[in-house]
Homo-oligomer: A and B are copies of this chain.
């Protein structure tokens, strides 16, 4: 795809337009994010997004193929956010400590941003969207998992987790933390009459830490 400019002036207006398009796209995304953090994904309609930014319904569809495309971008934003929170882990030299700190941060993120967490790790739509665009893969997820796995491998190389398979063990650790967050978000903890539902997740993680430290 080629765009030819006859003059500098044309180029700058084209650049401005590009910028404006980016801005409106970002505006739609911000609005969508804000709304579904309050109302939830299902309750956030294209109409409500449009209304919120004083544009028509059709305009939203000029900038996004469909609702899933919006969810997809927010899904990516969520991983960017988590990745930023993970930054501090770079300063934790001891891999075992880092592993535990990572778990804590993961849980913190999930509890603070349940809707975002669901979008990232539970809802099927984002994964299906990836399958459709066939050269696309779930880079965000792969990155996060790779980071976790690298830490597990470091733990192994410092003498921990003897006799364990790295892949399966990494997956198991992820599952444990995800499972707690998932059960919390889907209201199964209160459902099962465990008091202090919010406190149960850290408590469960503490049990796991006790176990980890022995390995």
Contacts and interface: CB of A to CB of B under 8 A. Distances in A.
Interface of A: 121-124, 127-128, 130, 137-138, 141-142, 145, 163-165, 167-169, 171-172, 174-180, 182-183, 186-189, 191-194, 200, 203-208, 210-211, 214-215
A51 B124 CA distance: 27
A172 B180 CA distance: 7
22 contacts: A121-B183, A121-B188, A123-B186, A124-B187, A127-B191, A128-B187, A138-B188, A138-B191, A141-B188, A142-B191, A145-B192, A145-B194, A163-B210, A164-B210, A168-B207, A172-B208, A174-B179, A175-B176, A175-B179, A175-B182, A175-B204, A179-B179
Contact of A172 (B130, B145, B172, B204): B204
Q: Which 4 A-B pairs have the closest CB atoms?
A: A179-B179, A175-B179, A138-B191, A168-B203
Contacts of A183: 121, 171, 174-175, 178
Contact of A180 (B123, B142, B171): B171
A160 B168 CA distance: 24
B186 A175 contact: no
Contacts of A191: 127, 130, 137-138, 141-142
A180 B177 CA distance: 10
B137 A171 contact: no
